[in-house]
């Protein structure tokens, strides 16, 4: 057989084998795609749509979200958010059916001209427990002296009867997506999900505390805290970061600020405060957040401080804070004012993260 003919036959055979191998490889890929996932969360890679949901009763369940979108009302109109883009949700207060109307009626009843009706309204609000808490806080700021006084008394009763973690102060939800964070009210009342052991379920938002995508980020933030602004008396930065009082909150800070800029850099402070910086100590980790009864310019000059909620207790953050907070709400930050009564200069680099 001529040499050219043999070469041609070999080339044809090679092409046929290579084509068959590619077809088999392609078919194999198609077969893998068609196979359903077995179990939930057992593989190394997170399953699309897989989330951990923390409920108000303290339980946590891992499941796969099957709802396709969330409808969210914001000050700028309604948004339709694809669930596939959601990385986390910090749920505000959602009411079971009929509860919101009862609360509104009872709040109005606090100002009724009849004493018995006022007493009846107050009792109803106490019976509704944490659901009535935000409305009672609003009523406590009423210009009607009777309503305000009764609401303040009810606030104390609820605080004594329920753990801080159960007393939500907002009805707004915080939805963290791939691109940006949305603050508004989720109008979708239920979410369809699938669990490994219980199959398909429909969950009511009124029972949820947080939702987090497995393997998803989006719960961390990083920024510069301006000493010139946030070291002034009473000036707190609202970070917008919602603390859920279930997970470990980690706040780290670094850098130096000048607490007496007029002295050309001779009075520098790190996040642990001017006194600690002068002693040459880093200050270490303040586990649990040492409480501060009152901010003292001498003791807390240049120190990074925090509180949860506008009216929350002040605690020390320093260069590192890591603990499960006692309460939930938005995290506020402040730098202890200069003991020389002058504006500080510079900024701290702050990172906030959540750790399970």
* Residue 3, in any domain of the structure: no
Full domain range(s) for residue 66: 50-93+168-213
Q: What is the pLDDT of residues 298-341, one digit of tens each?
A: 999 999 999 998 889 999 999 999 998 888 778 999 999 999 99
Q: 173 with 198, same domain?
A: yes
pLDDT of residue 225: 96
Chain-wide mean pLDDT for the chain?
Answer: 83
Q: Which of 213, 248, 275 is the endpoint of a domain? A: 213
* Residue 302, in any domain of the structure: yes
Three-class secondary structure of residue 131 per DSSP: helix
Q: 207 with 253, same domain?
A: no
pLDDT of residue 85: 87
Q: 227 with 200, same domain?
A: no
* Residue 33, in any domain of the structure: no
pLDDT of residue 326: 84
Q: 162 with 178, same domain?
A: no
pLDDT over threshold 60, residue 129: yes
Q: Which residues contact 23 (CB under 8 A, 6 or more apart)?
A: none
- Which band of pLDDT confidence, cut at 50, 70 and 90, is reported for residue 219? low
Q: 272 with 338, same domain?
A: yes
- Which band of pLDDT confidence, cut at 50, 70 and 90, is reported for residue 163? confident
Q: How many domains is the chain partitioned into structurally? A: 3
- Which band of pLDDT confidence, cut at 50, 70 and 90, is reported for residue 28? very low
* Residue 136, in any domain of the structure: yes
pLDDT of residue 19: 45
pLDDT of residue 117: 95
Q: 160 with 175, same domain?
A: no
Distance CA 7, CA 13 (A): 10
Q: 57 with 189, same domain?
A: yes
- Average pLDDT on 114-138 reads 95
Proportion of the chain above pLDDT 90, given as a percent:
57
* Residue 316, in any domain of the structure: yes
- Specify the CATH number for the domain of residue 141: 1.25.10
* Residue 231, in any domain of the structure: yes
Alpha-carbon torsion (136, 137, 138, 139), positive or negative: positive
Q: Could you tell me the CA-to-CA distances from 28 to 22, 25, 34, 118 in Å, in that order?
A: 10, 5, 10, 72
Show the tokens assigned to 69.
């979108």
- Specify the CATH number for the domain of residue 317: 2.60.120.430
Listed as own residue / partner, the contacts of 276-283 with beta carbons closer than 8 Å and 24 or more positions apart are 276/303, 276/318, 277/302, 282/319, 283/318, 283/319
Q: 325 with 315, same domain?
A: yes
- Which band of pLDDT confidence, cut at 50, 70 and 90, is reported for residue 49? confident
- Average pLDDT on 280-303 reads 78
pLDDT of residue 14: 44
pLDDT over threshold 70, residue 22: no
41 or 192, greater pLDDT: 192
Q: 201 with 301, same domain?
A: no
Q: 274 with 342, same domain?
A: yes
* Residue 149, in any domain of the structure: yes
pLDDT of residue 217: 43
Q: 72 with 193, same domain?
A: yes
pLDDT of residue 356: 62
pLDDT of residue 154: 96
pLDDT over threshold 70, residue 130: yes
- Average pLDDT on 262-287 reads 81
Q: What is the pLDDT of residues 58-86, one digit of tens each?
A: 788 889 999 999 999 999 999 999 988 88
pLDDT of residue 48: 58
- Which band of pLDDT confidence, cut at 50, 70 and 90, is reported for residue 233? very high
Show the tokens assigned to 190.
């239920």
* Residue 237, in any domain of the structure: yes
Q: 106 with 54, same domain?
A: no
Listed as own residue / partner, the contacts of 288-293 with beta carbons closer than 8 Å and 24 or more positions apart are 288/323, 289/315, 289/316, 289/317, 289/321, 289/323, 289/325, 290/315, 290/316, 291/315, 292/316
pLDDT over threshold 60, residue 21: no
pLDDT of residue 71: 96
pTM to 2 decimal places? 0.52
């Amino acid at each position: 057989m001529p040499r050219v003919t043999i070469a041609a036959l070999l080339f044809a055979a090679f092409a046929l084998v290579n084509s068959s191998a590619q077809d088999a490889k392609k078919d194999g890929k198609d077969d893998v795609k068609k196979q359903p996932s077995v179990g939930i969360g057992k593989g190394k890679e997170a399953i699309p749509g897989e989330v951990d949901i923390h409920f108000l009763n303290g339980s946590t369940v891992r499941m796969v979200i099957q709802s396709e979108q969330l409808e969210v009302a914001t000050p700028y109109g309604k948004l339709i958010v694809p669930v596939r883009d959601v990385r986390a949700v910090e749920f505000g207060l959602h009411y079971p059916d009929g509860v919101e109307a009862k609360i509104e009626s009872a709040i109005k009843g606090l100002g009724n001209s009849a004493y018995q009706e006022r007493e009846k309204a107050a009792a109803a609000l106490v019976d509704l427990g944490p659901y009535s808490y935000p409305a009672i806080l609003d009523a406590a700021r009423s210009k009607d002296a009777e309503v305000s006084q009764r609401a303040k008394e009810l606030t104390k009763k609820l605080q004594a009867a329920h753990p801080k973690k159960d007393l939500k102060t907002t009805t707004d939800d915080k939805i963290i997506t791939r691109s940006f964070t949305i603050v508004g009210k989720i109008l979708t009342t239920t979410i369809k999900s699938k669990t490994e052991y219980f199959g398909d379920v429909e969950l009511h938002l009124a029972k949820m505390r947080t939702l987090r995508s497995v393997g998803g980020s989006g719960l961390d933030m990083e920024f510069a805290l301006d000493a010139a602004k946030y070291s002034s008396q009473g000036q707190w930065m609202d970070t917008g970061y919602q603390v859920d009082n279930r997970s470990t909150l980690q706040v780290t800070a670094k850098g130096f600020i000048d607490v007496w800029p007029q002295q050309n850099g001779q009075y520098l402070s790190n996040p642990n405060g001017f006194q600690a910086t002068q002693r040459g100590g880093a200050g270490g980790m303040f586990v649990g957040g040492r409480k501060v009864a009152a901010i003292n310019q001498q003791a807390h000059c240049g120190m990074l401080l925090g509180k949860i909620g506008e009216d929350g207790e002040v605690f020390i953050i320093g260069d590192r804070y890591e603990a499960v907070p006692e309460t939930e709400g938005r995290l506020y930050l402040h730098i202890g004012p200069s003991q020389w009564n002058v504006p500080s200069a510079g900024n701290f680099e702050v990172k906030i993260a959540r750790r399970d």
